[in-house]
Structure 1
Amino acid sequence: MIRLGAHMSTSKGFDKVPKDTVAIGGNTFQIFPHSPRMWRASLPKEEMASSFIDEMKEKSLDPFDCMVHSGYLVNIASPNEEVWEKSVNLLSLEMKITAALGLKYLNFHPGSHLGDGLQEGVERILKGLEMVLGENQENDVILLLENVAAKGNHIGSSFDELEMIIEGSAQPERIGITYDTCHGFDSGFEIRTNEGVLKLIDEIDSKVGYEKLMMIHLNDSKFPLGAAKDRHEMIGKGYIGKEDGFRVFLSNERIQEKPWLLETPGDDADHALEIKYIRELLG
């Protein structure tokens, strides 16, 4: 069964997300645990968390198919001590929020070293992960490193860099990855051909292990292959989809093993049309 959904708003409350997901034709979703552009976050009230979990069951949504996306401000690679500490604290709280909602995956961007260098940035990430995971021993939430566009001082555009983080962690079993199609395309991964898709799968498998890939962010790109711009586009409207690239990518049986989550521009109505379009692509 294809697992397909979108990033959903929590403005009406966490417990409205399952119903809204099914309404757009989805069977999986992604949410923010709090306002993504703020440092402030709090655990959901017990009544809200319980209602959310009940709604998940009512709508037959699997917690292993859905995930939480960390806020935009988190940067555990930052050389700024204040930012690093706030990032570690927020990421730790986000894990607790994820657990309280009965979900299993928390996705985050590895961060930017801001010019200090890759090795220094990775060391700060590993130190931060040790603290975050140490403070969340009581839950079974898995952290997912997201590949990022190859621009600036961001860490994680290559699987070599993601491998450095996973292998350097004291708890690698609690770390997986999310593959973002726009970010990967931005970084030079060609997925519009069968050969390119197989090469991508081999790269993931040889560097981090294909079993570490838990989620796929399904985004088209406003810019050509290797542009390093990180501008998402609606499926079929960008440089991946214009050449029928998504049919090729999504037809691969190993790609179909993973849940697909839209992070494209637009609202629920737009995402409903995209979900319909994607299912039609696959026949």
Structure 2
Amino acid sequence: MIMIGAHMPIGGGFKRVPKETYEIGANAFQIFPHNPRQWRAKLPNEEDIKIFKERIKMYNIEIESMLCHSGYLINIASPNEETWKKSLELLILEMHICKTLGVKYLNIHPGSHLKSGIESGIIKIVEALNIAMDEESETFILLENVTKKGGNIGSTLEELNSIIEKVKHPERVGITIDTCHAWDAGYNIANKEELEKFLKKIDKLFSIEKLKFIHLNDSKNELGSNKDRHENIGKGKIGKEGLKIFLENKIIQNIPWILETPGDNEIHKNDIKEVFKIIGVKQ
């Protein structure tokens, strides 16, 4: 069974998410644990949690297909001590929110070293993850691949692996692969042979079991552009044929796909329909 969903809105409460996930033809979802553009966050209220969990069961959404995405302000690679501490505090709170909701996975961007250097940034990331995972012992952290702009860490599989092999609890850290980010970073996932090399490298560095989610996005830009601009399914430079090659891979079909394409629920509903058309599966 294909597990597919989209990034869902939470305005008005988490309780809306399971029903709206079902309404767009999905069986997986991603949410922010709070307003992603603010440092402020709080645990959800008991009534919201209760209804959210009831509806998860009602719509048969599995724990392995639910994902939280960390806020935009967090940068645990920052050389600025104040920013790093604020990022760590918010990351820990996000992990608590995930635990409260019963969402196992929290996806994070590793962060930007801000010209302090990749090695220095990785040291800060590992320090933050060690503290956070000691503080909250249930949430599973997923490191997302990124593009190389702005001092970002994690544009290569080797950089992601360098983080995982240094943390105290590597068994609680995995990865999310974003198709737009991979493409923009120079990984030709639209070519069958190159995709197989990419997946073999993941297996060699981490083991394929570490790959827990796919962020399924087309790209507005050419291969290797490092620009990170998502496009709707089949309308970008990866295109329908490229996505078909990627999505028909047996390994990829066993991993939940989360759309982060532009638009609202209705557009995501159309994107999901397009995905099923591309792979020739009746929805």
Secondary structure in structure 1 of the residue aligned to 2:141: strand
1 CA distance for matches of 2:87 and 2:277?
A: 41
Partner of 1:187: 185
Residues 183-231 of structure 1: per-residue CA shift (max 9 Å, x gap): 0001111011211210110111111221100000001100000000000
Q: Give the Cα–Cα distance (whole angstroms) in 1 for the partners of residues 100 and 150 of structure 2.
A: 35
5 Å-filtered alignment, 1:26-175, equals 26-137=26-137, 140-175=138-173
User: Secondary structure of the equivalent of 1:216?
Assistant: strand
* Equivalent pair of 1:162/1:208 in contact (CA under 8 Å): no
Question: 1:152, CA displacement in angstroms?
Answer: 2.7
Match of 1:196 among 190, 194, 219: 194
Query: CA contact under 8 A between 1:192 and 1:245: conserved in structure 2?
Result: yes
Shift of 1:12: 2.8
Cα distance between partner residues in 1 of 2:205 and 2:157: 6
Q: Quick one: distance in 1 between partners of 2:77 and 2:70?
A: 15
State how many pairs are aligned.
280
How far does residue 24 in structure 1 lie from its aligned partner after superposition?
Answer: 0.5
* Distance in 2 (alpha carbons) for counterparts of 1:11 and 1:77: 29
Q: Which amino acid aligns with 2:95?
A: M
In structure 1, C-alpha distance between the alignment counterparts of 2:38 and 2:67, rounded to whole Å: 19
Alignment partner, residue 9 of structure 1: 9
Matched residue SS, 2:153: coil
- 2:264 equivalent to 1:267: yes
Distance across 1 between alignment mates of 2:194 and 2:26: 28
Give the superposition deviation at 1:105.
0.2
SS of residue matched to 1:223 = coil
Question: Which residue in the other structure is 1:24 paired with?
Answer: 24
Answer whether contact 1:77 1:121 (CA < 8 A) is retained: yes
Q: Identity across aligned pairs (percent)?
A: 52
Q: Where in structure 1 do 4 or more consecutive aligned residues deviate above 2 Å?
A: none
Correspondence for 2:223 among 211, 218, 225? 225
In structure 1, C-alpha distance between the alignment counterparts of 2:19 and 2:276, rounded to whole Å: 20
**Deviation of 1:167 (Å):** 0.3
Which secondary structure state, in structure 1, belongs to the residue aligned with residue 250 of structure 2? coil
- Partners of 2:12 and 2:76 in 1: how far apart? 30
2: CA distance, partners of 1:270 / 1:5 = 12
The whole-number CA distance in structure 1 between the counterparts of 2:236 and 2:279 is 18
**1:176 to 2:174 alignment:** yes
Letter in 1 for 2:176: T
**2:2 corresponds to which letter in structure 1?**
I
Q: What is the rounded CA distance, in whole Å, between the counterparts of 2:181 and 2:63 in structure 1?
A: 25
Match of 1:209 in 2: 207
Task: Give, in angstroms, the shift of residue 47 of structure 1.
Answer: 1.8
CA distance in 2, matches of 1:7, 1:203: 28
Q: Structure 2: 5+ residue runs without aligned partners?
A: none
TM-score computed with the length of structure 2 as normaliser: 0.98
RMSD over aligned Cα, in angstroms?
0.8
The answer to whether the aligner puts 1:278 opposite 2:275 as a matched pair is yes
Equivalent residue letter for 1:215: F
* Structure 1 residue ranges without an equivalent (≥5): none
Secondary structure of 2:183's counterpart equals helix
From 215, 234, 238, the equivalent of 1:236 is 234
State TM-score, norm by structure 1: 0.98
Task: Tell me the amino acid that sits aligned with residue 280 of structure 1.
Answer: K
